[in-house]
Amino acid sequence: MAKVGRMKLGSQGLEVSQQGLGCMGMSAFYGPPKPEPDMISLIHHAVQSGVTFLDTSDVYGPHTNEILLGKALKGGIREKVELATKFGATYSEGKFVVRGDPAYVRAACEGSLKRLDIDCIDLYYQHRIDTSVPVEVTIGELKKLVEEGKIKYIGLSEASASTIRRAHAVHPITAVQLEWSLWSRDVEEDIIPTCRELGIGIVAYSPLGRGFLSSGSKLIENLPEGDYRKNMPRFQPENLEANKTIFERVNEMAAKKGCTPSQLALAWVHHQGNDVCPIPGTTKVENFNQNIAALSVKLTPQEMTELESFAATDAVKGDRYPENITTWKKANTPPLSSWKPGIQIDRHILHHSLEAQHHTTAMAKVGRMKLGSQGLEVSQQGLGCMGMSAFYGPPKPEPDMISLIHYAAQSGVTFLDTSDVYGPHTNEILLGKALKGGVREKVELATKFGISMSDGFKVEIRGDPSYVRAACEGSLKRLDIDCIDLYYQHRIDTRVPIEVTIGELKKLVEEGKIKYIGLSEASASTIRRAHAVHPITAVQLEWSLWSRDVEEEIVPTCRELGIGIVAYSPLGRGFLSSGTKLIENLSENDFRKYMPRFQPENLEKNKTIFERVNEMAAKKGCTPSQLALAWVHHQGNDVCPIPGTTKIDNLNQNIGALSVKLTPQEMTELESFAAADAVKGDRYASDITTWKNSDTPPLSSWKDRLDIDCIDLYYQHRIDTRVPIEITIGELKKLVEEGKIKYIGLSEVSASTIRRAHAVHPISAVQLEWSLWSRDAEEEVIPTCRELGIGIVAYNPLGRGFLSSGTKLLENLSEGDLRQLGSQGLEVSQQGLGCMGMSAVYGPPKPEPDMVALIQHAVQSGVTFLDTADVYGPHTNEILIGKDDFRKQAHHHHNTAMAKVGRMKLGSQGLEVSQQGLGCMGMSAYYGPPKPEPDMVALIHHAVQSGVTFLDTSDVYGPHTNEILIGKALSGGVREKVELATKFGIRISDDGKYENRGDPSYVRAACEGSLKRLDIDCIDLYYQHRIDTRVPIEITIGELKKLVEEGKIKYIGLSEASASTIRRAHAVHPISAVQLEWSLWSRDVEEEVIPTCRELGIGIVAYSPLGRGFFSSGSKLLDNLSQNNFRKALPRFQPENLETNKTIFERVNEMAAKKGCTPSQLALAWLHHQGNDVCPIPGTTKIENFNDNIGALSVKLTREEMTELESFATADVVKGDRYAEDMLATWKNSDTPPLSSRKAV
């Protein structure tokens, strides 16, 4: 290796190695930061090789390069090197800013000394010249730092000749750093001569042309995504084609010289004079060694000239930097006479600002804390890793993220947070890789389970024991570890008692697979119940300046129980870092784009919160993100925030929050910025599970997957050929004797095995595949079964669906007929229902509500023999079957579609309708996208055949499309079988605004339009949908009366009309029916509107009798609503109301179970019991739900039961109005002006 000599740098006494080491690329600008251990090894190698002149800057990282150098200088290295760093280039709100004012100079120096962990800087450069500050002022402050012993020598970088002269006149300049290489030679004209005239040393940076003179255009091909060089003019395609010729010629000459092109290019710089020290940067030891060897390459004057000819000014294409970067060409400063001391008025704030900036680095000490009371110790601040892999745009480069994780751990941030759903799985895999090489022992690792994504990214919350165990095993494998430090339930499975989930986690603790248990987004009651099973160490919750609802109940509960608090999204998903700029820069698939708070209607108001935080941060001398994080840190020593980031500089800034101190007054002021009424929009969209809907059923409701005491028929699904069949059947026999199973079965079994099994205990049934195209069982298995009196259950009778036309073979089975299965006394329906495909094997699991409805429909239809297995899912099919009390339903299946639908008089004008109607709105509008027309026509026909002949629509449903649908359904003789009601009066304008219309011309035109769309001659019942409060009701009814007289409508109705309006209308022409919202939780009409109708002999039509579907499935309804479903906006379904309202459904559901019916049947039955003048019109789009609704007619209620039901939903219990204030008018605001006010036009 070539010997590295020593040289005088400038004339002030500084001696350095003949060649230096530029350290920038180790941490910044040239791709992701490189592994710190590798870089420290490289620096040590450099020093041992004689290269002792090290170059860094506070902007490299920013700050991280100085921190790296500080670490590398430990252990006696500091005394062996000459250390140069720089100030003056900084970032403010993401923008590059040049600063040279005295306060900044001093604060920057203090920051560098702290990060480098030294007492004095050898050579301190002004990195870029602040053209707003006379250079004499900047140098004056540097001179003071020399006199104070904080720096030894002063340097300038990218300074013009005149600036160098002026600076040198204040205090001798030791060195000027400038870009000088074969293809960057513009400094030779003026700057180099000036330096030599003044005795100033020259430090040449980028002597290899940013690496181009090492490898030519190949350099550009291999640059990583974040490499700054990608944006440099000389490397753009239009310039690169010409520039690559320069490298080719240098490379050719190097080959002749027997050296590398980089050695030749460096040798050229060394030959410029003994006052020049090049500082090539590198991150690899082999490149470093190659650079040193340049000192041995000798060049003749002719070779120098030849080399220079390759890169003459006209040969080099493109500028050194983009136009927005400051260089010596625009580095002149104003005269000293222009400087007024008053300009330093903000020095105090500025000083603290710079102090805060150097606190943003890892030099702020990250302390340790106890998380909870179970013994877990973590860093005071954690690192949320989600955004590295998922939800916040595309996954970030793995090497960069591993470097970031390593950097965090080295900086003291050792509490790492991930989840199996991040990716899914890829974030855990990333963490697993990052934990290699001894890192695992230095960190506390938290991961989570409970959110499962099936095909199509459908989300399911799972907390059943088998899932918990499988999820843990999967995480251990992906993370490649033996034990998880903290294992959270990510979201609460509201189908599984929390005690069951925690019980399984407790087992995993006992087995040594996890150390501590945590919960995420759990309610206070759920936390208490969980903690009673096994101590909960930590609860993870969203807590930040603008998400504080957890403070009311959850945080106090945690503190009462000694549970640690982990605050996720402490920066409000990044909003409290950069405000609305965050949203502007989000990638297309960033999850945050869809969050309510970031929608335009909310963002406009929310940005004020950030602006006020930002303003206060400026006064505090810190960043807004530091201020917001500091607020969380000040909540208590039991709180650990885990801000996520993908950038080292952001991590450093987050750590800096630990040094920001807040007074109680400042805390109060901050909180006032984001009071509950100031924050617009919910944390999540309504379909996302949070702590507000996380309560689980009581433990007493859990009886494993099927939730039963005894299995009717228990098959051995497949035969274990390693175990004698007698052993297996012997164990099953014991289960029979214990009352856990009634009958034993076998599946896919040979004749000989059947015989041996039957000899141990009678076999009731054998399940086998038997169909038109699967008949091999007929030879031996079937005869054996028949001989032994064993029933035969044929699975896949339709050849896995292939023989679907064979269903005609089954048409002659009598409904509800039962038959003996085998000779042991088991009685089943003639046909069963195989449930496997609902959960497994046949594609992704099907929607649970749909499958529950299908099973209910089967039972109600008489198909009571249900078939499942523990392997279907696995387990999920059994859990599905266990969801509803199908056993009770089997006994009560005559409560449903088998019930006869009677007839009733609706009002006193002669209209006769079915006892229950069918609301058709949801088929076309408001409740999500329109449903397939053939399905809806089939549903309407099924309704009519079932006796439900009263159909309800409106011209506004679609608008118009629902009437068109009904028109199609009425063709083919159906019209004559139904009573058809439609409505007018709500008009949607071109700009989407709703208007109520009741003027005569509109009434007539609306009627004509409906007749045409419905393709009929006369409407049976024509309602005014909403009352036009500008038109006297007498005028509207007068026009409707004419339409009756003309034979275009038969009967007149009103909807959402007040008692006084009904009276006035009835005085003009008899009103046959009033339509109103009436259900268990909408009873305000009982006070005045209902009595008025009864007094006048007007029929009552109850719409939304199931509370918009809420009495069918409770809060689960909201989970499955499509994005454009009207119900999402209804007040009762908002999170703040839903939490209370769901209790109503739970109580109805509980009573329904006792009654042996569904909750929707119970709610409908309540309405049917209101009187024989009431006709409810529940809407649906599914035949199974329709059948369920009809079943309500058979549900009988006593007066005591009616009273009990009504007590569940009293006015003070129901939270939220029926409609939002800006939605449609209701009967409460439906009075019209007196007739006398109307002037005929």
Taking residue 379's Cβ as centre, other Cβ atoms within 10 Å add up to 24
Mean pLDDT across 1160-1187 = 95
The average pLDDT across 857-869 equals 80
909 in the same domain as 884: no
Residue 363 in this model has a pLDDT that exceeds 60: no
**pLDDT for the residue 1224:** 59
Q: How many domains does the chain have?
A: 4
Let me know: does 120 contact 151? Beta carbons within 8 Å.
Answer: yes
**Section 972-986 average pLDDT:** 95
pLDDT number for residue 1222 = 63
pLDDT band of residue 350 (cuts 50, 70, 90) is: very low
Average pLDDT of the segment spanning 303-327: 85
Which has more pLDDT, 888 or 955?
A: 955
264 domain residue, yes or no: no
Query: Quick one: pLDDT band at residue 1098, thresholds 50, 70, 90?
Result: very high
pLDDT score of 706: 53
pLDDT, residue 802, reads 67
Residue 910 and residue 889 share a domain: no
Same domain for 483 and 630: yes
Of residues 1145, 1175, 1171, the one with CA closest to residue 1160: 1145
Phi–psi pair at 519, nearest 5 degrees: -125, 155
pLDDT value at 207 more than 80: yes
Q: What is the pLDDT at residue 797?
A: 85
93: confidence class by pLDDT, cuts 50, 70, 90: low
- Section 1200-1213 average pLDDT: 92
Q: What is the pLDDT of residue 651?
A: 94
**Is pLDDT at 502 greater than 90 in this prediction?**
yes
Give whole-number Cα distances, 1113 to 145, 242, 880, 1120, 1121, in Å: 74, 71, 15, 10, 12
Whether the predicted pLDDT of 599 surpasses 90: no
Q: Where a domain ends, among 693, 727, 742?
A: 693
In terms of average pLDDT, the best of 309-323, 607-621, 896-910, 1016-1030 is 1016-1030
- Residue 1048, Cβ neighbours under 10 Å: how many? 19
Per-residue pLDDT for 355 more than 70? no
Q: How far apart are alpha carbons 1107 and 1157 in whole angstroms?
A: 18
Tell me, yes or no, whether 869 and 994 share the same domain. Answer: no
Please name every residue paired with 1201 in a beta bridge, in sequence order, or none if there are none: none
Angle at 32 between CA 30 and CA 38, to 5 degrees: 95
| DSSP string for 201-261 | EEEEESTTGGGHHHHTTHHHHT--TTBGGGG-GGGSHHHHHHHHHHHHHHHHHHHHHTS-H
Q: Is residue 853 domain-shared with residue 830, that is, in the same domain? A: yes
Going by pLDDT thresholds of 50, 70 and 90, the confidence category of residue 993 is confident
Domain membership flag for residue 1224: no
State residue 640's pLDDT score. 97
DSSP sequence for 1100-1165: EEEESTTTTTHHHHTTHHHHT--TTBGGGGSGGGSHHHHHHHHHHHHHHHHHHHHHTS-HHHHHHH
Question: Does residue 262 form part of some domain?
Answer: no
Instruction: Report the alpha-carbon distance of residue 1052 to residue 1072 in Å, rounded.
Output: 6
Q: Are residues 810 and 932 in the same domain?
A: no
Q: Which residue bears the tokens 């040289």?
A: 7
Give the model's pLDDT for residue 3: 85
**Is residue 684 annotated as part of the catalytic site, yes or no?**
no
**Among the residues of 547-702, which ranges form H helices?**
554-561, 575-578, 580-584, 600-620, 624-633, 648-656, 664-673
Cα separation of 73 and 62, whole Å? 19
Q: Mean pLDDT across the stretch 1055-1074?
A: 95
Phi, psi dihedral angles at 179 (to 5 degrees)? -80, 120
What's the average model confidence in pLDDT over 611-637? 91
200 shares its domain with 159: yes
Element at 353 (helix H, strand E) = helix 347-359
3-state secondary structure of 280: coil
371 and 330 in a common domain: no
Mean pLDDT of 926-932: 89
Confidence of residue 1228 (pLDDT cuts 50, 70, 90): confident
Residue 33 gets which letter from DSSP?
Answer: P
Confidence tier at 817 by pLDDT (50, 70, 90): very low
Mean predicted confidence (pLDDT) in 859-878: 79
428 touches 390 (CB < 8 A): no
Query: Which of 101-105, 801-805, 1008-1012 is predicted most confidently?
Result: 1008-1012
Range of weakest confidence among 3-12, 671-680, 776-785, 1054-1063 = 671-680
**Is residue 702 a part of any domain in this protein?**
no
Does one domain contain both 732 and 644? Answer: no
Domain extent for 192: 6-210+274-286+324-337
Q: pLDDT, tens digit, for every residue of 369-386?
A: 999 999 999 999 999 999
112-128: pLDDT as tens digits: 999 999 999 999 999 99
| Domain shared by 910 and 890, yes or no | no
Paired strand residues for 179: 205
**Mean pLDDT, the chain, as a whole number?**
88
Same domain, yes or no: 867 and 915: no
Mean pLDDT of the region 1167-1193: 94
Residues 107 and 197 in one domain: yes
The yes-or-no verdict on residue 224 having pLDDT over 90 is: no
Q: Can you give the pLDDT at residue 824?
A: 67
Residue 1150 lies in a domain: no
CB under 8 Å to 961, separation ≥6 — which residues?
924, 925, 930
pLDDT reading at 809 higher than 50 = no
SS3 867: strand
Marked catalytic residue, from 104, 422, 568, 1002: 422
Is the pLDDT assigned to residue 1227 strictly greater than 50? yes
In contact, 417 and 405? CB cutoff 8 Å: no
368 alpha-carbon distance from chain centroid: 30
CATH number at residue 567: 3.20.20.100
What does the pLDDT average to over 171-200? 94
Asked whether residue 217 is domain-assigned, the answer is no
Q: In this structure, is residue 144 part of a structural domain?
A: yes
357 domain residue, yes or no: no
CA 254: distance to chain centroid? 56
Percent of the chain with pLDDT strictly greater than 70: 91
pLDDT value of position 348: 32
The least confident of 411-415, 683-687, 1001-1005, 1101-1105 is: 683-687
Strand partners, 157: 177
The whole-number average pLDDT for the span 288-302 is: 95
Asked if residue 479 has pLDDT above 50, the reply is: yes
- Helix, strand, or coil here: 488? strand
Residues 6+ apart with CB under 8 A from 1165: 1157, 1192, 1193, 1195, 1196, 1197
Q: State residue 309's pLDDT score.
A: 93
